[in-house]
Structure 1
């Protein structure tokens, strides 16, 4: 960042060494999306995230744009509008207290489709004059000496540096942008990213991915870049200049980082595809389940991050890729010889076909983990859970001694060797079901989590063929008490009692009473 750009930004951060509080999950996702959108504007020079304001955009002309990025799922209230207006006005005053820098202010928000205009002069004037009783100062640095809460700081700045001329100028610079819902905003940005980087990837292996895969990967790269800057916390003794450097990125650097990520080999492309899928599943859950408890939203965010790390590391290698494919695919078993014998385009095509089944796998896994956290932890512990907690580490639930497929091990289950497939239902083509069942007969997990097929459940043995289970010409489920060879038997779990669709994620099922119970609830 140019030296001349630092000075007004440092003043912006004088009154808050750290931002006051972390916003809800959807709020900070939205904030990162706004920052990405700004970086895709040709006249953007630099973007700073979560310093002084939610987002600060520096234009090539030297103009500063202060952005409050807000996600209001139930619509913005008058009090919230007032709060945002006053904060932006106070920040405008901070940046223009000594020199008239060119500064604009924007409320960039999702307002649930409700039209939102700038306030009338009468309302705005009432808002900026509604100041708490506080001291006035002649130097911004002095506010650090005052033990003020956020609104008191805002009042102090408005009373100390505001005047009619400043307010008239601010009114001209204040605007409101309303956006579509999160999922639509993400899709819009994904398309913009694909168009922005098309000239760079047309000659690369990356170009052989389908449009949806390209968009998902590019969005994942861009979001990760912003998340790294968002998550940087100001440490004691760190200069404001040092914090700005950590929280800012130029458009040029942003473009170069994305370009470096897509100029890569087949294994890295597959890894990035899988990581992008994880983000897509997470985003879909968050957008389609607007009513969740705060701990559920937070745990889903942590599960998303940890899953990307786990699957990203696993899918760097052909062995890991094969393990994932043989867990969720509806195709015949893939061997290392088969996979290595395929060219890069065939591998990309195989991976691209797996997304819908991957989504089933991941939703089931995450929902079961959330259920375990719910019944194992008291409310206070859930609210304070950390990303590093073992219950949020995917590896906690993986049987590491099995490499042919992703073998699941839930501590509270009566069986310790299970598989979550990509879902099979009675209307699936017979060959799809045959391929899945044939692999399971070879691997012999002791429980099949088969989301989608509620027609079969209970104990069965590996003594009859996959053909019999496909045609549903199988014996009644076996009484487990009479099974002598447990290693040659399996439990078929239909997962009817685990809900993962729109609106279902606010509900917690007690797995101890259903899927971890040896007697299926359908037989009770």
Structure 2
């Protein structure tokens, strides 16, 4: 039976159940920023995060399978990265995907990141085979019964061949043109602002940018939540279209509401984090990753807490030195006043 490209993408979640939105993933802002960057491109139809790869971005007639790495301090282990990307590239080929597949490494690193050769790929997967295997001979579903390493090994042994590997190397994109997270986020804030400034009623540009970035991150991170009684497929749950993204931003920045307040405070958390990271160049890679987790969880907590008046009042009561009577009066404040 011939499958459509959409049906094939829907099958790609098989064997990927361990790719969940753990606290570490939620705390890793760089991945979310790359997804937002993709959604800001005119050509993008939709993205999925934590589906197939860190970011899966679809345009007309082609898809980008993107692994995201933020390694300002440590060396880059290309073997595991390339094995992961070729595994997904090969699975799409086995299923018969008819569009163009572009594997991509999106990386920020202060270390040198080299291109990968065909000979290196052959060494990484331990396969050197001229003849194309019969894809019908083996059931790819059997691969998914194994753990990650064994699944990769079985998939490569059953389906990899030199022409496929050469094709992969020819299209593999290594994007190293990223900045540190704080600078990258500011760059994206400017891009988002261009999309919403004509419809937004938030007159202060800095506040508008901070709110919009908080909303954009929330839009992506909502796809990590596993809602109960949701009968949709994993693909449908993860899918975030460019059209929905822009409408969400425009809708929530055309008036000051509770969601704006939560998004603004979330953005402030990320601002403080960026300052701490940039002011402490001696932080190790492990310390940076731990900081990412703490900041991500803090931003999520403060965003959820401050999405309503009672939560905002609770936060003020925690940090304010004002008398209880003043804090109680917060519920009567005009949300749009300066």
TM over 0.5: yes
Structure 1 residue 118 and structure 2 residue 112: aligned?
A: no
Higher-Rg structure is 1
Alignment of 1:482-493 (within 5 A): none
Following the alignment from structure 1 to structure 2, what is the Cα–Cα distance between the partners of residues 27 and 294?
Answer: 9
Relative to structure 1, the CA distance from residue 315 to residue 181 in structure 2 (aligned partners, 3 Å threshold; closer, same or farther) is: farther
Structure 1 residue 91 and structure 2 residue 88: aligned?
A: yes
Following the alignment from structure 1 to structure 2, what is the Cα–Cα distance between the partners of residues 25 and 243?
Answer: 17
Note if contact 1:92-1:103 (Cα within 8 Å) is conserved in structure 2.
yes
- SS of the equivalent of 1:180 reads coil
Name 1:49's counterpart in structure 2. 49
Shift of 1:324: 9.4
Structure 2 residues not aligned, in runs of 5+ = 129-134
Following the alignment from structure 2 to structure 1, what is the Cα–Cα distance between the partners of residues 163 and 40?
Answer: 34
- SS of the equivalent of 2:16 reads coil
Alignment of 1:343-358 (within 5 A): 344=336, 347-348=337-338
Relative to structure 1, the CA distance from residue 277 to residue 15 in structure 2 (aligned partners, 3 Å threshold; closer, same or farther) is: same
Structure 1 residue 190 and structure 2 residue 195: aligned?
A: no
**C-alpha RMSD of matched pairs (Å):** 3.7
Name 1:32's counterpart in structure 2. 32
Shift of 1:75: 3.6
- Return the TM-score normalized by structure 2: 0.80
Alignment of 1:371-450 (within 5 A): none
Larger relative contact order (C-alpha < 8 A, sep ≥ 6)?
A: 2
Following the alignment from structure 1 to structure 2, what is the Cα–Cα distance between the partners of residues 184 and 273?
Answer: 18
Name 1:309's counterpart in structure 2. 304
Note if contact 1:54-1:69 (Cα within 8 Å) is conserved in structure 2.
yes
Structure 1 residue 219 and structure 2 residue 216: aligned?
A: no
- SS of the equivalent of 1:199 reads coil
The alignment of Structure 1 onto Structure 2 pairs a total of residues equal to: 319
Following the alignment from structure 1 to structure 2, what is the Cα–Cα distance between the partners of residues 58 and 125?
Answer: 28
Name 1:160's counterpart in structure 2. 158
Structure 1 residues not aligned, in runs of 5+ = 349-524
Relative to structure 1, the CA distance from residue 6 to residue 17 in structure 2 (aligned partners, 3 Å threshold; closer, same or farther) is: farther
Name 1:281's counterpart in structure 2. 272
Note if contact 2:316-2:327 (Cα within 8 Å) is conserved in structure 1.
yes
Name 2:222's counterpart in structure 1. 228
Note if contact 1:322-1:335 (Cα within 8 Å) is conserved in structure 2.
no
Note if contact 1:30-1:182 (Cα within 8 Å) is conserved in structure 2.
yes
